[in-house]
Structure 1
């Protein structure tokens, strides 16, 4: 005979979850699911912001990942190797990074130097630097003012960044574990 007490307890916990679906079956999974969906929506809004800001200052339509590459290349005013770009942006999709770099070069925002064993470096062109500076100015004028309206913004952003870095480690570890999981069946 099935344990009806345990079944009732599981059912009542699932019903208590405000979303009651396969990813949110109890309070901890509901909190994680709510966070994940908020993160996805924030990511999409962030990408739209990046594209809109870049289009406003340069008249160029690029996706958020290409925009991020441009800003990382401009960071600290020194050329970067593709390995650095991938590490800073936590990307593993080499072919897409290379394609993004080609788009940035075609737009005249990035130049490439070096070769083979010596190393290939990507640097911002004068136009690329100007675009990054104009982007930063518009970001200060529009986005930072908007975010500044939130209470305790700086403190909360610092805490959020710290927690997101910790969660990044959890997701990376879980991804490695998930890659081997199907082999155990």
Structure 2
């Protein structure tokens, strides 16, 4: 009687990866929401916190398409809704008047919230991360692999679209 575990197929391994990715995405979204709730009472969703971070990134003005690319999202109406909410609660400011020239910048109150978020992240998430054994995994290689997988998923989606048009 063999005690070896049967080898999993490539399809089963990919499905396991996707399942773990769903979990990671949901946990990360909840983390962003909960971390912001710990530093402010503004009731931002995970998506809105992502938009705020994208606007704040490098302290440069960004248009809707810049934010879309940074977050790798194509749901422009949802991004616009998030930007509108962030404008209303004065975490960001609008520059420009037309759709093509409108840019968004972080406001002073937005900077304060983002800095508080980063401090809370350092105190909690980074502290827990540093408790992992150094050889547990290589986060830099994981980041690179995640970008490669993003490209594979994007290319697969493009292939599906092209196939549907044939």
Q: Does 1:36 align with 2:35?
A: no
Question: TM-score of the superposition, structure 1-length normalised?
Answer: 0.81
Instruction: Confirm or deny: 8 A CA contact 1:51 1:63 kept in the other structure.
Output: yes
Matched, 1:134 2:134: no
CA shift, 1:70, in A, is 0.3
Larger radius of gyration: 1
Q: Per-residue deviation at 1:180? A: 3.3
Q: Does 1:165 align with 2:138?
A: no
Deviation at 1:177, TM superposition (A): 1.1
Task: Tell me the CA shift for residue 118 of structure 1.
Answer: 6.5
Residue 80 of structure 2 corresponds to 98
Gaps of 5+ in 1: 1-15, 18-25
Q: Displacement, 1:63?
A: 1.7
Q: Is the 8 A contact 1:147 1:153 kept in 2?
A: no
Q: Unpaired runs of 5+ in structure 2?
A: 1-5
How do 1:20-169 residues align onto structure 2 when only pairs under 5 Å count? 27-116=9-98, 119-152=101-134, 156-169=138-151
**80-89 or 175-184, which moves further after superposition?**
175-184
The structure-2 alpha-carbon separation of the partners of 1:110 and 1:153, relative to structure 1 and needing over 3 Å to count, comes to farther
State the superposition RMSD in angstroms: 2.0
| Alignment correspondent of 2:160 | 178
Count residues with an aligned counterpart: 162
Q: How far did residue 82 of structure 1 move?
A: 1.1
